[in-house]
A and B are shown apart, each in its own frame.
Chain A
Amino acid sequence: MRKIEETQVQGTSGSATRRHIPYYLAVALLAAASVMALMSKPPVVHGSALATDPGPRPLPAAAGQFYSNLSSNQKSIENRLTQIFTEVNFVAGGPLVKTVGLGPRFNSNSCSSCHAYPAVGGSSPPNNPLFAIYQLQGATNTMPYFITTTGPVIVARFPLKSDGVTPDGSVHQMFTISNRSDAPGCTTMTQPDFNGAQSSNNIIFRQVTPTYGAGLIELIQESDILSNMNANGALKLSLGITGHPNYSDDDGTINRFGWKAQQKSLIYFSGEAYTVEEGVSDEAFPSENDESIASCLPPFPVSAGTNKTKGVPDDRNDTGEAPKLPVNFPGDLERFALFMRFLAPPTPVAPTSSTSNGLTQFQNVGCNMCHQISFTTPSSSIAALSKVKASLYSDLLVHHMGPGLADNVPQGQAAGDEFRTAPLWGVGQRYFFLHDGRTTDIVSAIEDHFSSGNSTFGNSEANTVINNFNALSQQNQQDLVNFLRSL
């Protein structure tokens, strides 16, 4: 808003001439009106923060363990769940029946390559794993400009289709299986034109989200999310915080996963990620992610006796194919879901006087009005997840975050400038922050929550809270940052 008004003033004065004194008067009036309009707004004290990021806590990982109180039957399949989450998928000819189906388009070849740090199930590791993947088996991919050796694993979406008008918003995978030796005959599928998308300003990025504690998030009751949303109404009003759920169609329950809370549950998420990120079609999403080139679709002409996908879906439940133990039964997507459901939340470090004060400041400045400290799960049929206090630091709602973070991709009821409050558990060992992984500095990540509105999007709901943070003493700021790095 400020910028627009200033521009208008300058434009008007530039077009005035000496012979048009009334114009000067008009300009003066306009300028005066603009100044008054500016002064009537809440004072913007947004300045630079005084705290510094101590950086991610070193390994060993404070996450990645299964719940210690899983039943013995559940424990008995832990290894198989981990095996499937870390399996590397081939197009065909992989070492196991269950390791085929990659592509034709993909971002990576296994879940754990990206959900990697600080332990399997997490998010981007310090060294980008895609460099070890993109040309595997003779693939002729080039690395997109936005992937760097020490940058985050990010996926690309195009807000608009190539006509520049029609909304798109879907993931455009970085790589194809063209010329891989396990995809004989597939030679002509080309990568998307990321440079072109960049030059037409039609590309946005999203990074990997960690999955620890996801089983608890899935079970939190709707009524608890809503009553938390409706709590502290006066305080939220004064801070400029609103927020709303992103509801699932038909059943009307609240979606919880993904940067815009666009995913309902872990099965849904697994099914979608498997086909979107790896190109492995499954029982929830049984199509290959590009069907335009027949020679890039299964079945592939690999030699007899080699493992191959016979067709869609690439992966499915082995419904009684042969006498098998029950643990052989479910398809990959159920196993991924079970893996994530059974992963315990990250363990924070023991509080110090600094982090204790940091938590107090976190609440004083208002962070906790969105980053709600905890929810308790209801009674669950999965005993390890039943009535557990989950300290996730999220209200699981979406909020307007201003033009600075807006990515112009609406999803469900989440608009182009709205994002789910990212859970903060585990940020103590996190490397990359915000939806596009734009910073490794947690102080910058805080500051990036501030964004003044423009003609397209309103102010960030976090603006007042960030002002409050910046108005803290250096000590209090640092304690708050230390608290975050203790999570």
Chain B
Amino acid sequence: MSLPENTKMVQKSSTPWKWIRIVLPVVLLLAICTVAAAYFPKGARTAKVMGPAAMRTNVVRPASATATDPGPRPLPANAGGFLSKLSANEVQIEPSITTEFNRVHDVVVTSPTDGGLGPRFNSNSCASCHAYPAVGGSSPPSNPLFSVYNLKGASNTMPFFITTSGPILEARFINQPGTNIPDGNVHQNFTIKGRSDASGCNISQPDFNTASSQGNLVLRQVTPTYGAGLVEVIRNIDIVNNMNSNTSTKKTLGITGHPNHSGNDGSIQRFGWKSQIRSTLIAAAQQMNVEMGVTNETFPNEIDQTSGCVLNPVPETVTNFAPGILTEMFPSDPERAEYFTQWMAPPTPAASTSSTSNGKTQFTNVGCVYCHTTSFTTPPTSRPALGGIKINLYSDLIVHHMGPGLADGLAQGEAGPDEFRTSPLWGIGQRLFFMHDGRTTDIVSAIEDHFSLGNSTYPASEANQSVTNFNNLSSKNQQDLVNFLRSL
């Protein structure tokens, strides 16, 4: 949707007269440093068209923010509980699905629910990465991979991008190494080589250093799962109606955005940094194979089938048909991980203060709210605990152009290489790492990172005007907005 608009702008501004008519006022206004902010998005978009070097000299970054990040709210966790209205029977299986989410997987399968790690993996349990502020969340302050990568004698070296106090990141390659063939898949950090339960397996880790030096390495961090069961049942039509509301304001702000649809059924996907996954079931099954290497009934093929490394019959977790077992023992692991994430309640925000109330007003005033949609209401659901609930997720669940500063060069479905899903903000009060690659722990930097001028490859970030508006707020209003975010 935004691309045709950009093209139009190309054609319009390509004649010299229009060029001068548009740019001259911009230059003048910038020079007097008054209401220049209002022209930033247009200037940035023109920059893409006219040649970045020429135009970017005419556009300066907005004034820097004056607010400071109070930091994550301390524990106890404001999240990690199950939905309160689950039925007694559903409550009965909470321990079983929690056990599943916490299960540490070794290589050898000894029962239908354990084992299956590798041959390639990022970690050995869901909960190791979905950890903070409680099980189901995102990266904890101390990186858990250091206690995972050499387990049982594994001969892995730690990739350069994983640090003891940094976020958990997984790597993707833009192109298949050494080629121009598009890749985009996850390349797992570790292998089972050297583990005492994987003798005979001899595969090496990907060459992350070379990939990095060639600009071929993309990093993505862990997303929290709280409230996911509510997000997956939001009606598509509500997402579309929200997208089509406030259009004149959004146009002024330079905000467009569009859904990332699922291929055959045409519904709107909601999970992952680019909205590339439709549901908790598919997410659980895919993650189980991609992150841990555990093959399952939805993704039954090992990611690496090098001889000597396929050590279990596939799929490694299957529906358990043994008679006489408890009902909750029946399904295979992905279904249990599905229920765990599906039944997690959203994070609870802190009680509002005068500062956070004003912050919420400023959040709306500067325009954050036009992508970070405050709430949706779930429709009637067959699982009553999930239906008719107003959820304050602060996301429109669609993808937006975020400029070259955030672009990671990977297209997924209808999400372009510079587009990302509006991240839900619920729970960020206790979040430690921000943005898709966990590049900052400072929520003010995270706001500023939404600003990015266009270049010859990508258009400007759709957030430029809102970030500019934020930076133009008084120190007090900026701080209140930041305090509001940290109250979520």
Q: Which residues of B contact A310 (CB under 8 A)?
A: 380-382, 384, 387
Contact A253 B301 (CB under 8 A): yes
Q: Does B395 contact A (CB under 8 A)?
A: no
Looking at the complex, which one of A298, A321, A324, A381 makes contact with B312 (CB distance below 8 Å)? A381
Contact with B along A276-312 (1 / 0, CB 8 A): 1000000111111101100001110000000001111
Q: Which residues of B contact A380 (CB under 8 A)?
A: 313-315
Contact A250 B267 (CB under 8 A): no
Q: Does A54 contact B (CB under 8 A)?
A: no
Contact with B along A8-47 (1 / 0, CB 8 A): 0000000000000000000000000000000000000000
How close is A269's CB to chain B, nearest CB, in angstroms? 9
Q: Which residues of A contact B299 (CB under 8 A)?
A: 248, 251, 253, 264-265
Known: A76-B323, A250-B185. A319 touches B382 (CB 8 A): no
Partner-binding segment picked from A217-225, A229-237, A359-367, A459-467 = A217-225
Q: Which residue of A lies closest to B328 (CB)?
A: A320
Contact B328 A267 (CB under 8 A): no
Contact with A along B202-241 (1 / 0, CB 8 A): 0000000000000000000000000000001101111000
Q: Which residues of B contact A412 (CB under 8 A)?
A: 263
Q: Does B159 contact A (CB under 8 A)?
A: no
Number of A residues with CB within 8 Å of any CB on chain B: 74
Q: Which residues of B contact A264 (CB under 8 A)?
A: 298-299
Q: Which residues of A contact B474 (CB under 8 A)?
A: none
Known: A284-B279, A287-B235, A329-B330. A268 touches B298 (CB 8 A): yes
Q: Which residues of A contact B232 (CB under 8 A)?
A: 286
- The distance in angstroms between the C-alpha atoms of A310 and B380, with both chains bound, is 7
Q: Does B439 contact A (CB under 8 A)?
A: no
Q: Does B87 contact A (CB under 8 A)?
A: yes
Q: Does B81 contact A (CB under 8 A)?
A: no
Looking at the complex, which one of B183, B282, B314, B412 makes contact with A284 (CB distance below 8 Å)? B282
Contact A321 B381 (CB under 8 A): no
Partner-binding segment picked from A57-65, A184-192, A330-338, A424-432 = A330-338
- Chain B positions 169-191 with a Cβ under 8 Å from a chain A Cβ: 183-186
Looking at the complex, which one of A276, A337, A382 makes contact with B265 (CB distance below 8 Å)? A276
Q: Does A149 contact B (CB under 8 A)?
A: no
Q: Which residues of A contact B184 (CB under 8 A)?
A: 249
Q: Does A198 contact B (CB under 8 A)?
A: no
Known: A251-B290, A252-B303. A330 touches B265 (CB 8 A): no
Q: Which residues of A contact B276 (CB under 8 A)?
A: 249-250
- Chain B positions 329-383 with a Cβ under 8 Å from a chain A Cβ: 329-331, 335, 338-339, 379-383
Residue of B261, B278, B327, B338 most packed against chain A (CB within 10 A): B327
Q: Which residues of A contact B238 (CB under 8 A)?
A: 291
Q: Does A411 contact B (CB under 8 A)?
A: yes
How close is B362's CB to chain A, nearest CB, in angstroms? 34
Q: Does B74 contact A (CB under 8 A)?
A: no
Q: Which residue of A lies closest to B306 (CB)?
A: A223
Q: Does B300 contact A (CB under 8 A)?
A: yes
Contact A265 B298 (CB under 8 A): yes
Known: A319-B90, A326-B323, A380-B313. A249 touches B185 (CB 8 A): yes
Residue of B261, B306, B310, B319 most packed against chain A (CB within 10 A): B319
Q: Does A74 contact B (CB under 8 A)?
A: yes
Q: Does A316 contact B (CB under 8 A)?
A: yes
Contact B289 A251 (CB under 8 A): yes
Looking at the complex, which one of A74, A76, A171, A379 makes contact with B314 (CB distance below 8 Å)? A379
Q: Which residue of B lies closest to A166 (CB)?
A: B1
Contact B300 A330 (CB under 8 A): no
Contact B379 A312 (CB under 8 A): yes
Contact B279 A286 (CB under 8 A): yes
Contact with B along A408-421 (1 / 0, CB 8 A): 00011000000000
Contact B412 A249 (CB under 8 A): yes
Q: Does B244 contact A (CB under 8 A)?
A: no
Q: Does B305 contact A (CB under 8 A)?
A: yes
How close is A111's CB to chain B, nearest CB, in angstroms? 16
- Chain A positions 41-96 with a Cβ under 8 Å from a chain B Cβ: 71, 73-74, 76-77
- The distance in angstroms between the C-alpha atoms of A262 and B263, with both chains bound, is 9
How close is B208's CB to chain A, nearest CB, in angstroms? 17
Known: A286-B279, A319-B339, A321-B89. A251 touches B185 (CB 8 A): yes
Q: Which residues of A contact B297 (CB under 8 A)?
A: 265-267, 334, 337
Number of B residues with CB within 8 Å of any CB on chain A: 74
- The distance in angstroms between the C-alpha atoms of A253 and B264, with both chains bound, is 19
Q: Does A213 contact B (CB under 8 A)?
A: no
- Chain A positions 445-466 with a Cβ under 8 Å from a chain B Cβ: none
Q: Which residues of A contact B286 (CB under 8 A)?
A: 250-251
Contact with B along A194-210 (1 / 0, CB 8 A): 00000000000000000
Looking at the complex, which one of A271, A320, A321 makes contact with B281 (CB distance below 8 Å)? A271
Q: Does A170 contact B (CB under 8 A)?
A: yes
- The distance in angstroms between the C-alpha atoms of A292 and B290, with both chains bound, is 36
- The distance in angstroms between the C-alpha atoms of A276 and B264, with both chains bound, is 8
Q: Does B77 contact A (CB under 8 A)?
A: no
Contact A311 B379 (CB under 8 A): yes
- The distance in angstroms between the C-alpha atoms of A314 and B286, with both chains bound, is 23
Q: Does B13 contact A (CB under 8 A)?
A: no
Contact B237 A291 (CB under 8 A): yes
Contact B263 A250 (CB under 8 A): no
Residue of A248, A268, A312 most packed against chain B (CB within 10 A): A312
Q: Which residues of A contact B29 (CB under 8 A)?
A: none
Looking at the complex, which one of B280, B320, B327, B329 makes contact with A323 (CB distance below 8 Å)? B327
- The distance in angstroms between the C-alpha atoms of A316 and B339, with both chains bound, is 11
Q: Does B413 contact A (CB under 8 A)?
A: yes
- The distance in angstroms between the C-alpha atoms of A275 and B232, with both chains bound, is 15
- The distance in angstroms between the C-alpha atoms of A266 and B300, with both chains bound, is 10
Looking at the complex, which one of B89, B112, B301 makes contact with A319 (CB distance below 8 Å)? B89
How close is B303's CB to chain A, nearest CB, in angstroms? 6
Looking at the complex, which one of B265, B310, B319, B384 makes contact with A334 (CB distance below 8 Å)? B319
Contact with A along B113-155 (1 / 0, CB 8 A): 0000000000000000000000000000000000000000000
Q: Which residue of B lies closest to A253 (CB)?
A: B301
Q: Does B78 contact A (CB under 8 A)?
A: no
Q: Does A126 contact B (CB under 8 A)?
A: no
How close is B96's CB to chain A, nearest CB, in angstroms? 9
Contact B305 A219 (CB under 8 A): no
Q: Which residues of A contact B306 (CB under 8 A)?
A: 223
Q: Which residues of B contact A381 (CB under 8 A)?
A: 109, 112, 312-316, 318
Contact B327 A324 (CB under 8 A): yes
How close is B206's CB to chain A, nearest CB, in angstroms? 12
- The distance in angstroms between the C-alpha atoms of A286 and B313, with both chains bound, is 31
Q: Does B157 contact A (CB under 8 A)?
A: no
Q: Which residues of A contact B302 (CB under 8 A)?
A: 221-222
Binding site for B on A (CB under 8 A): 71, 73-74, 76-77, 169-171, 218-219, 221-223, 247-254, 258, 262, 264-268, 271-272, 275-276, 283-289, 291-292, 297-299, 309-317, 319-324, 326, 328-330, 334, 337-338, 378-382, 386, 411-412
A-B residue pairs in contact (CB < 8 Å), sample of 30: A170-B265, A170-B266, A219-B315, A250-B276, A253-B299, A265-B298, A268-B282, A283-B279, A283-B280, A283-B338, A284-B279, A286-B232, A286-B233, A288-B235, A291-B237, A310-B381, A310-B387, A311-B387, A319-B89, A320-B90, A320-B327, A321-B87, A322-B89, A329-B327, A334-B331, A378-B310, A379-B313, A380-B313, A380-B314, A380-B315
**What 7 A-B pairs have minimum CB-CB distances, sorted nearest first?**
A311-B380, A252-B185, A73-B321, A291-B237, A170-B266, A320-B89, A223-B305
Contacts beyond the supplied A171-B264, A310-B381: 13 A-B pairs with Cβ under 8 Å: A170-B261, A223-B306, A285-B265, A287-B267, A289-B267, A298-B380, A299-B380, A313-B381, A329-B330, A330-B335, A334-B297, A381-B316, A386-B313
